[in-house]
Amino acid sequence: MKRWTLYTSPASCSLATHIALHEAGADFDLVKLDFGARQQQSADFLAINPKGRVPALATDDGVLTETPALLAFIAQRFPQARLAPDNDAFAFARMQEFNSYLASTVHVAHAHKRRGARWADDAAAIEAMRAKVPQTMTACATVIEARLVGPWVLGEHYSVADGYLFTIASWFEGDGVDVKPFPRIVAHRERVGARPAVKRAIAEAGG
């Protein structure tokens, strides 16, 4: 197997894939892009991921993107690490449902804080989006808190969804969310943050 390369940027959602690779025991190279220098839009990186986003994982089969796809893939390629339900389509779907919600609702709500220019050109509109982020992210936290029975997202077994929730939940305070009403999320964040693979990924990722 060709050695894999993970393309990340500090303080981005790529941390979730980075965590999953360490939880899996994967051997990989890490390339950190400097978004301040717009390296994600460089010709070199666009040749790797034409969408100009992280995470991107160069594997022996090709370059793979999109966090929910990457997380399930890593779990399936390293089955001995037991990072996703196996041989139970509904349990696997529950994990996917959670990851998809994080990607298409929670991460999207968060992106309106600093990436509003994706969806409007007008400066006042971008500021109006930024102003609503505490409200939308609090609504997301409310959905997650109700869903989170623990100790892990799927119950008794840690999965790639836990590193993903940890990554996104670490944005809450910065997004203006008062986390006091969300004790399960706070406890989950501490539980995940104590794992050696997570500490290692954070130390390597920077940001």
149 lies in the binding site for a copy of itself (CB under 8 A): no
DSSP states of 137-199: HHHHHHHHHHH--SSBTTBSS--HHHHHHHHHHTTTGGGT---TT-HHHHHHHHHHHTSHHHH
Sign (positive or negative) of CA dihedral 114, 99, 198, 152: positive
How long is the chain? 207
Task: Give the shortest CB-55-to-a copy of itself separation in angstroms.
Answer: 11
Residues 65-94 within binding reach of a copy of itself (CB under 8 A): 65-70, 72-73, 76-77, 89-90, 92-94
Q: Which is nearer to a copy of itself, 84 or 192 (CB)?
A: 84
According to DSSP, the residues that pair with 31 across neighbouring strands are 7
**Contact status: 160 vs a copy of itself (CB under 8 A):** no
What is the CB neighbour count within 10 angstroms for residue 34?
11
Are 110 and 133 a contacting pair, CB within 8 Å?
A: yes
* Residue 184: Cβ within 10 Å count: 16
Q: Which of 29, 34, 86, 97 binds a copy of itself (CB under 8 A)?
A: 97
Residues 111-140 as x/- pattern, contact with a copy of itself by CB under 8 A: -x-----xxxxx-xx--xx-xx---x----
Q: With binding defined as CB under 8 A, does residue 101 bind a copy of itself?
A: yes
| Binding interface with a copy of itself (CB under 8 A) | 50-51, 59, 61-62, 64-70, 72-73, 76-77, 89-90, 92-94, 96-97, 99-101, 103-105, 107-109, 112, 118-122, 124-125, 128-129, 131-132, 136, 143, 146
